[in-house]
Every structure is written in structure tokens, then in C-alpha cells.
Amino acid sequence: MSYDIIYGKQFVRLRRTSEVIPMLLAGSNNCYEIGLGGRNGRRVRSWDNLRYYNRKGKISERPEIILKNLDAELNRIIRRHRGDGETKPADIRNHFGYYASMVVGSGHCAGTSWNQYRGQFANGIRGALTIEELDTLGVNLYIQAFSGDSPNGEPRTTCLKTEQEYFIEMKKWREWHASSNKMFYLSFSPSSTDRVLERLRAPKRKAPKEKTQVEQDHYFNLNDGCSALIKYTSRGYRYSYSKTGGKRFRTKDDAEKYRKQLVDKRRHKADIWRVERIDSPCSFLVCA
């Protein structure tokens, strides 16, 4: 079964028209990049504005119209299944991806709900950036003809840095489309989809907290009288043969809290560990 996978979103806000351009990072589940040794790599994906199907050829649209058209899409699917006597509207809402042949993020189609799909657009509208704001992040819109079409005097592809440039170039491409009857689309540069995602996400990442080194003449660990706990793994746990080794805690409360988590999760033999103070110099990195 072929279906679309939506990996990310970044809508573009146009101040002049109060519209947004829905830009989704998406691709087919059946198409793969060429990996090492000629094997399949990861699934192909690209940034474009063609994954929103209800705009009748419009590249940009007012936010309220986009959401209205999305709701109309849901209602059409509900009406389509109304006569089968089995599928309920709640089933379609809860498993929307199954009926629309689409996945948001990862998993199976049936695991994508209507709220997840609609949320891609509602959240995308709220987080829309202007062309100038995108340019400051090192991400630019560009207009391009479909690679399968033969050249027919299309305008030169260029990265757009301002909204004024967008409307000037869009006029050229619309005139070319009218005269040649060939299609074009919007995408993001740089060409690496991962690099675009990194640049879009960078401002949203919290700066790492500053840490200072604290010296102590003691620490706490979890031990059974002979050995000390290092960590739990999927196959059990690892431990130090020395009673004074293992995972170190700055305070007794930290050690007790960690032990309680192990017991509550019923980890293998979690109850054998006891918190003990070890009188030996130790240093810890502590958030300021």
C-alpha cells in the first residue's frame, strides 16, 4: 500500500495578502534514496507546497480558509463511508491516516488521527515565518519547474530573500505556466532537507544550562554490600566489583529517589540495592 509520510512543517507568512504558504516536508513510503552498496537508503522526502490538496491550484491561502477546507475534507470522507453500515465517524477521526493514506511522523496509517493531521496545519499557521525571517535563519524559498518537464523558457530559478522578490518572481512563473501549460512548485534551500530542519529548529532549542564543578569529600551509591550498581540495561544490570564503585550520587536524597524509581518499575532485583555513603573525594557538575 502506498501512502504519504509527513516529516515536518514550516509555513510561510505573506504580510501583503495575510495569507500563508503551507510547506510540508513529506514523501512516499515506497520511494528510497540510494544507500551504501546500492542498497535502499532512507525514504525520499522533500519540502514543497503540493501536499495540501484543497486549494484548487492556489499556492497561498488565508489561514481560516485552509482550516475550513481541511474540515470539509474530513466531512467528505465521512459521507463517503456513511452508507457502508460499519465505519463510524469516530473511527475515521481516530484512524484518519488509514482513510487518507497518510502518516504523520512515524508508525502506521491507522495510528494517525484527524487531530494529528489537522494539527500540522493549525500549528504550522501559528508558527509561520515571513520570507525575511527565514532568510535570517539561512533558509530560502525558491521556485522551480518540475524536473520531468522539458525546458520551455521557464524563468531562472533563484532563492527568494524578501516578500517583494516573491511576488515579482511569482508573477513571472505564473505567466510562464499560462503560456507553456507546465507546472512549477516551491521548495526550500539548501537542498539538504536535514540542514533546513536544523536551521529551522536552532532558534527553538534551549541554551544548555551552565554547570559548575562541586568538590565533595563523600558521595552516595547503591550497593549490595559487595558490589555497586552501575546501570540497568535491557538484559539486566551492570555492576562494579568494588563496593565503592558504580553510579555516584551527590546527595542521599538523589540516591534514594533513583532507587525508588527502580523498585516502582520492578526492575530485576531492584530491592537488593541499598543507599550507602562513601567517604571518598568526588566531584560533580551542578547546574548554576
Secondary structure (DSSP) of the chain: ---EEEEEE--EEETTTTEEE--EEEEETT-EEE-GGG-EEEEP-EEES-S---STT-S-B-HHHHHHHHHHHHHHHHHHTGGGSS--HHHHHHTHHHHHTEEESSS-GGG--HHHHHHHHHHHHHT-B-HHHHHHTT-EEEEEE-TTSPP-SPPPP-EE-SHHHHHHHHHHHHHHHHHH---EEEEEESS-HHHHHHHHHGGGSPPPPPEEEEEES-EEEEE-SS-EEEEEETTEEEEESSTT-S--BSSHHHHHHHHHHHHHTT-TTGGG-EEEEE-S-EEEEEE-
Q: What total of structural domains would you count in the chain?
A: 3
- 159 and 218, same domain (yes or no): no
- 259 and 162, same domain (yes or no): no
- 122 and 137, same domain (yes or no): no
- 115 and 217, same domain (yes or no): no
Write down which residue in 155, 175, 204 finishes a domain: 204
Q: What is the structure's pLDDT at 54?
A: 63
Amino acid found at 227 = S
Alpha carbon 100 to its chain's center: 20
- 9 and 102, same domain (yes or no): yes
- 25 and 95, same domain (yes or no): yes
Query: For cell 499557521, what's the residue?
Result: 125
Alpha carbon 275 to its chain's center: 40
pLDDT of the chain, 288 residues: tens digit per residue? 789 999 999 999 999 999 999 999 999 999 888 877 777 788 999 998 877 766 677 899 999 999 999 999 999 999 988 877 778 999 999 999 999 999 999 889 999 999 999 999 999 999 999 999 999 999 999 998 876 555 667 888 889 999 999 999 999 999 998 888 888 889 999 989 989 999 999 887 777 788 899 999 999 999 999 999 999 998 899 999 999 999 999 999 999 999 999 999 999 999 999 999 999 999 999 987
- 115 and 45, same domain (yes or no): yes
Q: Which residues have CB under 8 Å from 21's CB, separation 6+?
A: 11, 12, 14, 49, 59, 60, 141, 186
CB 81 within 8 A of CB 87: yes
Query: For cell 533513583, what's the residue?
Result: 258
Q: What is the structure's pLDDT at 101?
A: 92
Q: What is the structure's pLDDT at 150?
A: 57
Q: What is the structure's pLDDT at 151?
A: 60
Q: H-helix or E-strand containing 214?
A: strand 211-216
Whether pTM exceeds 0.75: no
- 233 and 266, same domain (yes or no): yes
Cell of 283: 566531584
- 69 and 141, same domain (yes or no): no
Amino acid found at 135 = D
Using left for φ > 0, alpha for ψ between -120 and 50, and beta otherwise, residue 37 falls in: left
User: Can you count the helices (H) and strands (E) in the chain?
Assistant: 8, 17
Helices (H), 46-147: 63-80, 89-94, 96-100, 114-126, 131-136
- 247 and 146, same domain (yes or no): no
- 182 and 221, same domain (yes or no): no
For residue 164, the enclosing domain spans: 131-204
- 138 and 120, same domain (yes or no): no
Write down which residue in 204, 222, 253 finishes a domain: 204
Query: For cell 457502508, what's the residue?
Result: 84
Write down which residue in 99, 126, 153 finishes a domain: 126
Amino acid found at 160 = L
Q: Map residue 196 onto helix, strand or coil.
A: helix
Angle (nearest 5°) at CA 263 between 262 and 268: 75
